[in-house]
């Protein structure tokens, strides 16, 4: 492929069935403090992608809190899983001190069947950048530069800007996590924009039950406990997110196991009937944390019904109400 630009290919040879977590950050601008906060949030990611503007704060920006380019160099060089795009504030001297390639203007990475194109986003117009990413066959386009979070779909291309870790222009020091789950016949991608200063970052719930006793079992951690799930996929997964400064509990339900309409109808009905019980179990099971962060009682709950059948693949919004409180 020849687009009149240079780009770097990063191929990860992965088996047909994968579960990969990709951490995305951008515009660190020399702040070691916020870079370390970002790494804490992204600690269980398999790969890190940096959208550029690494060390220098830039003449138009104030010096960020924790500004320590030398310390940041050392921290970046200690990593072995980071991909970096070049930003407008990155210079040749930055490449002299950073051991990883600072790639420009487009970086193309392949994770199984998912192709990600990363560029800082300052050399071309946004429309041209999106068109180039589509021409490269990208599934996801990662941008930086604006210091403002974005996540939207342009036709079949996911456009993601994680915002800035250090000098945000939308009020939130942020990163993003991309979860890619690829099976033999489908790819499932989840995107999460995260405030790196929030207390409830990376808190995930795995709710399962016993068919024999009907007892419920709740696992709380930074990762979903997939070892507790089974082939019937009747677990309830949930995680806290912060979107535009609002607390959201995202709940995921696997309504369809295959394309069978009858089975999907039954599973959808069962999940909806048991949803209140499941939410109560999650909230009661983590009652100390929720009491400590009482603002979570005002959170919106987004229920993600996941199905191959469009009618049953939908979102529902509810609120944590008084009866649901522990």
Q: Determine the pLDDT at residue 10.
A: 47
Note whether residue 292 is domain-resident. yes
Residue-level pLDDT at 27: 98
Kindly report the CATH number assigned to the domain that includes residue 175: 3.60.21.10
Segment holding 232, helix H or strand E: none
pLDDT at 324: 45
Say whether both 15 and 154 belong to one domain: yes
pLDDT of residue 221: 87
pLDDT of residue 162: 97
Query: Considering 144, 173, 195, which residue would you say is the last residue of a domain?
Result: 195
Segment 202-220 shows an average pLDDT of 87
Helix (H) or strand (E) run with residue 126 in it? helix 126-135
Q: How far apart are CA 65 and CA 76, in angstroms?
A: 18
Considering the domain boundaries, does residue 88 fall inside one?
A: yes
Query: Does residue 240 share a domain with residue 308?
Result: yes
188 & 214 share domain: no
Q: Are residues 141 and 235 in the same domain?
A: no
The last residue of one of the domains, among 195, 212, 239, is: 195
Using DSSP's 3-state secondary structure scheme, residue 187 falls into strand
Q: Are residues 162 and 294 in the same domain?
A: no
Residue with tokens 């020091």: 173
The answer on 217 and 184 residing in a single domain is no
Q: What is the mean pLDDT of residues 160-179?
A: 94
Domain check: are 179 and 283 in the same one? no
Is 175 found in the same domain as 237? no
Q: Would strands 187-195 and 18-25 be described as parallel, antiparallel, or unpaired?
A: unpaired
Same-domain check for residues 32 and 118: yes
Which tops the pLDDT comparison, 199 or 86?
86
Least confident of 15-29, 138-152, 270-284: 15-29
Q: Has residue 139 been placed in a domain?
A: yes
CA dist., res. 85 & res. 54, Å (int): 9
Cβ contacts of 6 within 8 Å, gap of 6 or more: 104, 105, 106
Q: Is 312 exposed, middle or buried (0-12, 13-18, 19+ CB in 10 A)?
A: middle
C-alpha closest to that of 203 among 189, 219, 188: 219
Whether residue 256 lies inside any domain: the answer is: yes
Pairing of strands 157-162, 140-142: parallel
Q: Which residue's entry shows tokens 């060089």?
A: 77
Tell me: the pLDDT tens digits for 47-83? 999 999 999 998 888 999 999 999 999 999 999 999 9
2 located within any domain = no
Domain of residue 171: give its range: 7-195
Q: Quick one: 168 and 208 in the same domain?
A: no
pLDDT at 4 over 60: no
- Answer with the one of 195, 215, 242 that is the final residue of a domain: 195
Per-residue pLDDT, 294: 81
Query: For all residues of the chain together, what is the average pLDDT?
Result: 87
Dig out the tokens for 67 from the structure. 């500004």
Q: Are residues 166 and 298 in the same domain?
A: no
Do 173 and 284 lie in one domain? The reply is no
Segment 202-224 mean pLDDT: 87
Establish if 1 belongs to a structural domain.
Answer: no
Cβ neighbours of residue 40 closer than 8 Å, sequence gap 6 or more: 196
Residue 190 lies in a domain: yes
Residues 6 or more apart in contact with residue 140 via CB below 8 angstroms: 114, 115, 116, 117, 157, 158, 160, 178, 189
* Residue 284 forms part of a structural domain: yes
Q: How many domains does the chain have?
A: 2
Q: What is the C-alpha separation between 27 and 164, in angstroms, rounded? A: 5
């Amino acid at each position: 492929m020849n687009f009149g630009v240079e780009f770097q290919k990063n191929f990860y040879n992965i088996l047909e069935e994968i579960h990969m977590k990709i951490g995305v950050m951008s515009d660190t601008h020399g702040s070691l403090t916020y870079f370390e906060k970002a790494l804490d949030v992204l600690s269980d990611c398999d790969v890190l992608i940096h959208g550029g503007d690494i060390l220098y704060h830039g003449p138009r920006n104030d010096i960020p809190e924790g500004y320590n380019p030398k310390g940041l160099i050392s921290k970046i060089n200690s990593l072995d899983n980071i991909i970096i795009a070049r930003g407008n504030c990155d210079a040749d001297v930055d490449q002299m001190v950073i051991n990883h390639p600072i790639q420009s203007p487009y970086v193309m990475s392949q994770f199984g069947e998912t192709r990600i194109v990363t560029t800082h986003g300052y050399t071309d117009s946004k429309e041209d950048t999106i068109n180039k990413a589509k021409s490269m066959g990208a599934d996801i386009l990662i941008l930086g530069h604006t210091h403002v979070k974005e996540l939207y779909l342009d036709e079949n291309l996911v456009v993601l800007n994680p915002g800035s870790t250090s000098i945000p222009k939308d009020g939130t020091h942020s990163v993003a996590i991309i979860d890619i789950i690829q099976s033999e016949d489908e790819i499932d991608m989840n995107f999460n924009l995260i405030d790196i200063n929030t207390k409830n970052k990376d808190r995930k719930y795995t709710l399962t039950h016993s068919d024999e006793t009907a007892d419920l079992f709740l696992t709380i951690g930074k990762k979903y406990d997939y070892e507790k799930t089974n082939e019937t996929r009747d677990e309830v997964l949930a995680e806290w997110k912060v979107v535009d400064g609002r607390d959201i509990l995202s709940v995921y339900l696997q309504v369809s196991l295959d394309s069978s309409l009858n089975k999907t109808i039954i599973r959808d009905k069962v999940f909806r009937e048991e949803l209140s019980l499941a939410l109560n179990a999650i909230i009661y099971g983590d009652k100390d944390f929720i009491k400590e962060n009482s603002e979570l009682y005002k959170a919106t709950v987004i229920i993600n019904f996941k199905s191959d059948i469009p009618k049953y693949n939908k979102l529902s919004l509810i609120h944590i109400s008084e009866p649901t409180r522990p």
